[in-house]
Amino acid sequence: MPSAKQTTEIDVTPEEMMRVITDFGSYSDFLPEIEDVEIVRESDSEWDVRFTVKVVKRLRYVLRLKQNGPHQLRWHLLEGAFKVNEGGWDLVPIDEGKRTHVTYFIDLQIGMFVPSSIMRNAVERTLPDTLKRFKGEAERQATS
């Protein structure tokens, strides 16, 4: 199963970063592979979200995302194009809470045949780009 983990430091508070992470409806504004996002179910700290993405082909899937406290988010697959889609975000305050050390990780197994080298390459290439886009969006929002 392709998996990847990436870390970075971001010039926003963990709370500002979590707001960007949980604003699923805005993902298509800064993540070009996202075609559509629909929140299927929502509670205080848990969401079922349907994503439509275009990577090699169009994929649709529903994730259950759960915020565990102010600095952690985890997800797992409910239905869709993957056999496995699990991951999460860990946000650690640094510089007296003014900045955030971010860890993003994902494990994927697609539900149709795709050569493992292509999946691994997609995960390893896409993950740093995704994290850079989240970083850019969080810092953009913090300065506007």
The model's pTM: 0.90
Residue 78 lies in a domain: yes
pLDDT at residue number 9: 97
Specify if 104 maps to a domain. yes
**DSSP conformational letter for 34:** E
Instruction: Kindly state whether residue 85 falls inside one of the protein's structural domains.
Output: yes
Domain count, the chain: 1
31 domain-assigned: no
Does 16 have pLDDT greater than 70?
A: yes
- Map residue 36 onto helix, strand or coil: strand
Best CA proximity match to 22, nearest among 67, 62, 60: 67
CA-based nearest residue to 45, from 63, 24, 67, 64: 67
The band of 119, judged by pLDDT with boundaries at 50, 70 and 90, is low
Count of alpha carbons within 13 angstroms of residue 15, beta-carbon side: 2
Q: State yes or no: pLDDT of 1 exceeds 60.
A: no
pLDDT number for residue 116: 64
CATH number at residue 77: 3.30.530.20
Comparing 121 with 126, which gets the higher pLDDT?
126
Domain encompassing residue 85: 3-23+65-143
Three-state SS string over 54-116 comes to ECCCEEEEEEEEEECCCCEEEEEEEEECEEEEEEEEEEEEECCCCEEEEEEEEEEEECCCCCH
Number of H helices, E strands in the chain: 3, 7
Can you tell me the mean pLDDT for 115-144?
81
Q: Is residue 113 part of a domain?
A: yes
**Within-domain flag for 47:** no
% pLDDT > 90, the chain? 70
